Amino acid sequence: MSELYIYNSYTRQKEKFEPITPGHVGLYVCGPTVSGESHLGHARPYVTFDVVNRYLQHLGYKVRYVRNITDAGHFEEEGREAEDKVGKKALLEKLEPMELVHKYTSLFHWAMNRFNCIEPSIEPTATGHIIEQISMIEDIIAKGYAYEVNGSVYFDVKKYAASHDYGKLSGRVLDDLLETTRQLDGQDEKRDKADFALWKKAAPEHIMRWKSPWGVGFPGWHIECSAMSSKYLGERFDIHGGGMDLQFPHHESEIAQSTIAHGCAPVNYWMHNNMITINGKKMGKSYNNVIKLTELFSGDHPILEQAYHPMVIRFNILQSHYRSTLDFSNESLQASEKALKRLWEAYEALKGLTAPTGQEAGDAALDQKIRQAVAECADFMNDDLNTAKVLANLFDLAPVINSMKGGIIGTDAISAETFSLLSNAFKVYLEDIMGLQALQQANDEKLEAVMELVIQMRKEARNRKDFEASDKIRNMLASAGIMLKDEKGGEMSYTIQ
Ligand code: ZN
């Protein structure tokens, strides 16, 4: 298989990838809502689509990768309409909404950096695209698929569904939706329960508000992605990605809005990563198992037995195919840590070996085995980006490299060409495509001494109840990649990333 095949969630089959413009790919991924810290559930889509971006670039495509920041909007949570998360949290934290947005956007970028995710080409914000959203809503109203009631605008789902495949992406049936949609605030003003908000009138206490043709209000959540993706990637673009949990209502609504506004389906390939479970349980507030990324890196969460390096988490995510469920547990993360170390040791050993010069392999069977394993890696990636199988193949080659390093077999067991293929495969797959890095070990004695001093200073600050100084020390260390963990009895430990 020398061409890339992608599983399209919309058609539910693997399809050969053919970009709209040869040599170019438009990729849109739903970004974070920056009303709070990113958690483990956010790590999977961003690592997954980072690999999609990296692989497309590896294949020679010029990728325009757009990932938005949701910093305003009317959100829905677990099937229920919720308040504006940013506005609500800003009140709670006594911050200006944009202060809150800045804080959590920075924290998100920091975490993405730790995961070695390549920055998107454009990172548009919802608040920066209110005009585009209003204009798109006007367009949908003009085309007869949205209506205004009391300063809010709703999309007419029933009318749309009469002539379009509403529910095709998420597999939902409109009649079921009508029956299962719960009674919600402001729902009475909708013509139909299944209709969703494009614009909401702002209540007096709502702090994030903009003028619109329908009065003062704020945009619905779904419309921002339709407005921003079409602005930067065109009315029809190549790939739209996100977590499976976004299929409904978010992506289903995006399809409906964009199809009406632009007269064509917006996306050629829909890609969705599966969800993460923790110790076999769904992640959620009710299970008390939502682990923030900072907690994962510091180990500061009751579920965690230790701190986990961002590369271990990244590796663990890539050890499963992105469409499989992924269960997080201390055991699996610890196994990943060991495996990544072994794999990296083999990679380092390989770099240190002297390449054979012979064209003939001393051990034809081994030579053939390596060539096949390397060739398969390309096939696995082209088969809907099966990173799990690629890593397994590289892992299988580690003992061969270790035997060469230990002198048990000579490098001349394989031909010069095969040796070069092998070296190239480790570099390309591990570093360029999977985006993995070496685990840095923090054994520097001088650093230990400095950390002892800093920890002592923080303890003193806490003892005199100077929490501002104590937080400052922790935050500054965190931004330098050193995570402090408060242990029992006032002790502190640290990990370096
Ligand atoms: Zn979105």
Domain boundaries, the chain: 5-273, 278-442, 445-496
Q: How far is the CA of 269 from the centre of ligand 1 (A)?
A: 15
Q: Is the whole model's pTM more than 0.85, yes or no?
A: yes
- One digit per residue, pLDDT tens: the chain, 497 residues? 579 999 999 999 999 999 999 999 999 999 999 988 999 999 999 999 999 999 999 999 999 999 999 998 755 443 445 467 777 788 788 888 888 899 999 999 999 999 999 999 999 999 999 999 999 999 999 999 999 999 999 999 999 999 999 999 999 877 766 655 555 545 578 999 899 999 999 988 788 899 999 999 999 989 999 999 999 999 999 999 999 999 999 999 999 999 999 999 999 999 999 999 999 998 887 888 899 999 999 999 999 999 999 999 999 999 999 999 999 999 999 999 999 999 999 999 999 999 999 999 999 999 999 999 999 999 999 999 999 999 999 999 999 999 999 999 999 999 999 999 999 999 999 999 999 999 865 445 567 778 888 888 898 888 899 989 999 998 889 888 888 888 877 788 888 77
Name the DSSP letter for residue 169: T
Q: How far is the CA of 476 from the centre of ligand 1 (A)?
A: 32
Q: How far is the CA of 68 from the centre of ligand 1 (A)?
A: 8
Length of the chain as a residue count:
497
Q: How far is the CA of 447 from the centre of ligand 1 (A)?
A: 43
| Ion ligand 1 contact residues with beta carbon within 5 A | 30, 225
CB 260 within 8 A of CB 222: no
Beta bridge partners of 496: 482
The neighbour count for residue 288, using CB atoms within 10 Å, is: 10
Q: Distance between CA atoms of 293 and 38, rounded to whole angstroms?
A: 6
CATH 2.60.120.620 applies to domain 278-442: no
CB 217 within 8 A of CB 199: yes
Tokens (6 digits) for 463: 């003892």
Name the DSSP letter for residue 428: I
Architecture of the domain delimited by 5-273: 3-Layer(aba) Sandwich (3.40)
Q: How far is the CA of 29 from the centre of ligand 1 (A)?
A: 7
Residue whose pair of structure tokens reads 């804080």 in the numeric block: 103
Would the CATH topology of 5-273 be identical to that of 278-442? no
Burial class of residue 149 (count of CB atoms within 10 Å of its CB; 0-12, 13-18, 19+): middle
Q: Distance between CA atoms of 389 and 393, rounded to whole angstroms?
A: 6
Q: How far is the CA of 69 from the centre of ligand 1 (A)?
A: 9
